[in-house]
Chains A and B, each alone.
Chain A
Amino acid sequence: MISQGLLIAVLFAYTPCVLAEFFSPLRFWKKPIFVWFGFLIHVLAIIVAIYVDKMAVWQSPIFGFGVLSSLVLLIFQILRKQPKMDSLGKVMLPTAFLLLLLGILSPTNQNSVLWHWWVPIHVSLILLGFICFALSFALSITFLIVHSRLKKKQLLGLKDLPSLTTLDRYNHRSMLFGFITLTAGVATGIFWFSMFENPTWFFEPTIISTLVLWLWYAIGIYTRLTLGRRMRWAAWFAVIGFLGFVVLLVVSTFIAGGWHLGEVA
């Protein structure tokens, strides 16, 4: 498929940007313009996937991971304009890179699912939720790094990193927004699902993963609002939640046969 070839090109375009986050001799590649360049090819790949290869996000893991990856990068490019948020690149760029790599390595089969105009709304809301949790993950990793260094009194060089309170605040907002959009996405999915006469694919891995994710973040937000569990507790919660979800998504992709197996009505 043409889009798969383009996604491989995107992977190469992002590689120096990702490496620049960890190796100072490559810091020239840290400039936002290089990420934007890769992102443009990424968007082109997505457009080609939709109109040439006739792919849909919920049917094809390649496309799905590709879209997730591009949205993670877009969020990062917007957020890095805030003071010290550039440091999130150390987590968000590799995360986007890995999501893209997973997509390229995914099976190319597409699953047939009943089309309805409701589907793009459902998919967009779910994706938005995932992106917020990916952001929450990046913020939480950075939080845990800063927290650890403060606890170990490794105080030098912390000035370039956001404060714990800032990271926690952004984390909370990402989780909250992600939870709201995911709830709306799940609700629209249930509505779409109710149109099937004999729905046999309710217990497929992607749906289970999403519901588990939804429940996990519901608990996290509840404990924060009622018990005041924030900062390190909330950070670990977000990290475990997102990692667990990615594992389930990988299982769905490589073992269970794909996203939304479905059946033709």
Chain B
Amino acid sequence: MLIAIGLNHRSAPIEVREQLSRGLADMKVLIEQLRAAQLAKEAMLLSTCNRVELYVVPDQHTDPQSFITFVSRYVGLVGNSLREHLYVYSKQEALHHLFRVISSLDSMILGENQIVSQIRQSFRRSIDLQCSGPVLHRIIERALSVSKTVREQTNISKETVSIGRAGVELARQVLGELSGLSALLIGAGEHGKLVAKNLFSHGLSELVIANRTFSRGVELAKFFNASAIHLSEIPRYLDRVDIVLTSVAGGQRLIRKNDIITFRRRRRYRTLVLIDLSVPRIIDSEIHDLNDVFLFDIDDLNQLANEGRKNRESAAKEAEDIVSVETNKCWKILQGDLHSKNIGAVYHHAERIRIAETQKTFSALPDLNDEQKLMIDKMTRAMISKFLHHPMAQARQLAQNDKHHELQFLLQAMLPTGDSNEE
């Protein structure tokens, strides 16, 4: 019913992932070839920076390994160069894998939220290109629901894991919502830029950048749509801004306790958050003792980020349990659908035979009147119904007892090849 084949950041280096992604980019041609080769009825390609995966609803009797051969040939990679990186999951395992991926349990950053929109977009694309169908639709709908359940019932996505987010979290813990607030970024270090970027994405209204090299500050200001100032202008901004970020290398103390005490009254004791990401630190640590001033350094941000990672890891165990339960539930539902289809196919097949034979009989007996034809029709219906009653009762019993293989065997035995659907 479902096969997942692909590679991710753990199984393949980026060069191989890039090659596969480029090779599979044209979904329309891919699905046409898959259908022509009688390998798949529906397909969806998920291509992100960390994984390239193809989810297919196979045609009947398809060996999952044949997909590896197909993909290798299709992408143009010969020998074992792709094979050793590819993984393939089928049936319930494929469903479980998809649910884990969408719950970000398989992501490089555990609990990241981007994967949900990436899967949504991939599915939309497959609909637009007419590559998907009812089975994939049902599965993706269910996957989105599982993702929501995991994120609501566990903390897997709630904890801070990056320095940038940790900085925002601390600023918000003191200042609340960032809209209407302004920040001063001193220096052009990577950590400072990360925190500034995150502050902006959480609603910061204004950013001012001060850098030793003014031209570098201007360049950075353009990137952030901010304004640049000289280092000498910093005191003028200290009584205006709400957040000060520093990220310079090898500097002397730039902001001392007395500087802040001077500005406090001018600021009317408005709260100030200072985040010193420089090593060595350039803000006097005694500033933290002042009532309305809060000073955090890189260790504080790391502490939050590390704790966040630990919490996500313990939330992951809960999430795995939820995913396992949901996989079993969903699999039963899908099998139920499949068996309903097959049971329907048995009745349909029997009806076809009945109609064909009654037509033959009516042709051979032209003197039959309508009433007689009706009686023959009724008789053949009753015969079919009574004949199928016991096998169908058995089929329902097997379904209730989760004996899916026996059920599949029974149904397939009653249908000619080509009529049955396989899991």
Identify the A interface with B (CB < 8 A).
146, 150-151, 153, 155-156, 158-159, 161-166, 169, 227-233
Can you name the residue of chain B whose Cβ is closest to the Cβ of A158? B173
Interface centre among A164, A169, A230, A232 (most CB of B within 10 A): A164
Task: Give which listed residue, A151, A163, A227, A232, contacts B173 with CB less than 8 A.
Answer: A163
C-alpha gap A163/B176 in the complex (Å): 5
Q: Which residues of B contact A230 (CB under 8 A)?
A: 269
Given contacts A156-B303, A229-B269, contact A163 B292 (CB under 8 A): no
Contact in complex: B300, A155 (CB < 8 Å): yes
| Chain B, 248-299, CB within 8 A of any chain A CB | 268-271, 288-289, 291-292, 294, 296
For residue B323, CB closer than 8 A to chain A, the reply is: no
C-alpha gap A125/B174 in the complex (Å): 34
Could you list some 25 contacts between A and B, CB below 8 A? A150-B173, A150-B294, A153-B300, A153-B303, A155-B170, A156-B303, A156-B304, A159-B158, A159-B169, A162-B176, A163-B173, A163-B175, A163-B176, A164-B174, A164-B175, A164-B176, A165-B174, A165-B175, A165-B271, A166-B176, A227-B268, A227-B269, A231-B291, A231-B292, A233-B269
C-alpha gap A227/B267 in the complex (Å): 11
Q: Which residues of B contact A166 (CB under 8 A)?
A: 176
Contact in complex: A163, B304 (CB < 8 Å): no
For residue B307, CB closer than 8 A to chain A, the reply is: yes
Q: Which residues of B contact A228 (CB under 8 A)?
A: 268-270
| Chain B, 115-173, CB within 8 A of any chain A CB | 158, 169-170, 172-173
Can you name the residue of chain A whose Cβ is closest to the Cβ of B267? A228
B side interface size, CB within 8 A:
22
Task: Give which listed residue, A155, A158, A232, contacts B292 with CB less than 8 A.
Answer: A232
Contact in complex: A150, B268 (CB < 8 Å): no
Q: Which residues of B contact A229 (CB under 8 A)?
A: 269
C-alpha gap A162/B176 in the complex (Å): 8
Min C-beta distance of B23 to chain A, whole Å:
44
Q: What 8 pairs across the A-B complex have the smallest Cβ distances?
A: A228-B268, A165-B176, A163-B176, A228-B269, A166-B176, A165-B175, A232-B291, A164-B174
Contact in complex: B174, A150 (CB < 8 Å): yes
Identify the B interface with A (CB < 8 A).
158, 169-170, 172-176, 268-271, 288-289, 291-292, 294, 296, 300, 303-304, 307
Q: Which residues of B contact A146 (CB under 8 A)?
A: 173
Contact in complex: B172, A231 (CB < 8 Å): no
C-alpha gap A159/B175 in the complex (Å): 13
Q: Which residues of B contact A158 (CB under 8 A)?
A: 173
Min C-beta distance of A226 to chain B, whole Å:
10
C-alpha gap A151/B293 in the complex (Å): 9
C-alpha gap A230/B176 in the complex (Å): 15
Contact in complex: B304, A155 (CB < 8 Å): yes
Q: Which residues of B contact A156 (CB under 8 A)?
A: 303-304, 307
Min C-beta distance of A121 to chain B, whole Å:
37
Q: Which residues of A contact B307 (CB under 8 A)?
A: 156
| Further pairs besides A233-B269, A233-B291: 13, Cβ < 8 Å | A146-B173, A150-B173, A153-B300, A155-B170, A155-B304, A158-B173, A161-B173, A163-B172, A163-B176, A164-B175, A164-B271, A228-B268, A229-B269
Contact in complex: A163, B288 (CB < 8 Å): no
C-alpha gap A151/B288 in the complex (Å): 7
Min C-beta distance of A10 to chain B, whole Å:
34
Can you name the residue of chain A whose Cβ is closest to the Cβ of B271? A231
C-alpha gap A169/B270 in the complex (Å): 13
C-alpha gap A162/B158 in the complex (Å): 16
Q: Which residues of A contact B169 (CB under 8 A)?
A: 159
C-alpha gap A164/B271 in the complex (Å): 9
C-alpha gap A95/B270 in the complex (Å): 30
Q: Which residues of A contact B269 (CB under 8 A)?
A: 227-231, 233
Min C-beta distance of B403 to chain A, whole Å:
40
Q: Which residues of A contact B296 (CB under 8 A)?
A: 153
Can you name the residue of chain A whose Cβ is closest to the Cβ of B289? A151
C-alpha gap A166/B271 in the complex (Å): 12
Q: Which residues of B contact A150 (CB under 8 A)?
A: 173-174, 294
Can you name the residue of chain A whose Cβ is closest to the Cβ of B288? A151
Q: Which residues of A contact B294 (CB under 8 A)?
A: 150-151
Q: Which residues of A contact B170 (CB under 8 A)?
A: 155
Contact in complex: B270, A155 (CB < 8 Å): no
C-alpha gap A227/B264 in the complex (Å): 11
Q: Which residues of A contact B271 (CB under 8 A)?
A: 164-165, 231
C-alpha gap A151/B291 in the complex (Å): 9
Q: Which residues of B contact A169 (CB under 8 A)?
A: 176
Can you name the residue of chain B whose Cβ is closest to the Cβ of A226? B268
Q: Which residues of B contact A231 (CB under 8 A)?
A: 269, 271, 291-292
Q: Which residues of B contact A227 (CB under 8 A)?
A: 268-269
Min C-beta distance of B296 to chain A, whole Å:
8
Q: Which residues of B contact A163 (CB under 8 A)?
A: 172-176
C-alpha gap A164/B174 in the complex (Å): 5
Min C-beta distance of B155 to chain A, whole Å:
10
C-alpha gap A158/B172 in the complex (Å): 11
Can you name the residue of chain B whose Cβ is closest to the Cβ of A169? B176
Min C-beta distance of A232 to chain B, whole Å:
5
Q: Which residues of B contact A155 (CB under 8 A)?
A: 170, 300, 303-304
Can you name the residue of chain B whose Cβ is closest to the Cβ of A232? B291
Q: Which residues of B contact A153 (CB under 8 A)?
A: 296, 300, 303
Min C-beta distance of B167 to chain A, whole Å:
12
C-alpha gap A169/B177 in the complex (Å): 12
Min C-beta distance of A144 to chain B, whole Å:
12
Can you name the residue of chain B whose Cβ is closest to the Cβ of A159? B169
Min C-beta distance of A86 to chain B, whole Å:
15
Can you name the residue of chain A whose Cβ is closest to the Cβ of B303? A155
Min C-beta distance of B272 to chain A, whole Å:
11
Min C-beta distance of B38 to chain A, whole Å:
53
Q: Which residues of B contact A164 (CB under 8 A)?
A: 173-176, 271
